[in-house]
Amino acid sequence: KQEVTQIPAALSVPEGENLVLNCSFTDSAIYNLQWFRQDPGKGLTSLLLIQSSQREQTSGRLNASLDKSSGRSTLYIAASQPGDSATYLCAVKVGRDDKIIFGKGTRLHILP
């Protein structure tokens, strides 16, 4: 059974720092991996999608990498800002049955 783990569960960093969020998954048979952002009480907003054949994707200050063989992905946020404070979730689309499995998220707080 696919399991997705995110470490750390919570993170506080001063504004302006670069930071890395980690995601690991147990079964490498995935279609893709997606990073989401969730603000308190809201739905999920898609940030980046990495296909199973890709190594990384970039959008603005965000860069996501994927190492399928080792079951790992990282989300790199450059020059963090207070507006980046949110919960970040990673999810994998499972190849065999199209299900999407989530990690529990990393709650990020950027200190002004």
Partner 1 sequence: DVKVTQSSRYLVKRTGEKVFLECVQDMDHENMFWYRQDPGLGLRLIYFSYDVKMKEKGDIPEGYSVSREKKERFSLILESASTNQTSMYLCASSLSGAVRTEAFFGQGTRLTVV
From the number of C-beta atoms within 10 Å of its C-beta (0-12, 13-18, 19+), residue 91 rates as buried
| Closest CB 21 distance from partner 1, rounded Å | 15
Sequence-ordered list of residues with C-beta below 8 angstroms from that of 38, at least 6 positions apart, any chain:
44, 45, 86, 87, 88, 89, 105
Interaction between residue 11 and partner 1 (CB under 8 A) = no
Which of residues 60, 83, 97, 112 is near partner 1 by CB under 8 A? Answer: 97
Would you say 15 or 107 has its CB closer to partner 1?
107
| Closest CB 111 distance from partner 1, rounded Å | 23
Which of residues 93, 106, 108, 110 is near partner 1 by CB under 8 A? Answer: 93
* Per-residue x/- track, 25-64, partner 1 (CB under 8 A): ------xx-x-x----xxxxxx--x-xxx-----------
Separation between Cα atoms, residue 31 and residue 99, nearest integer Å: 10
Name the residues that contact partner 1, by CB under 8 A. 31-32, 34, 36, 41-46, 49, 51-53, 89, 91, 93, 97-105
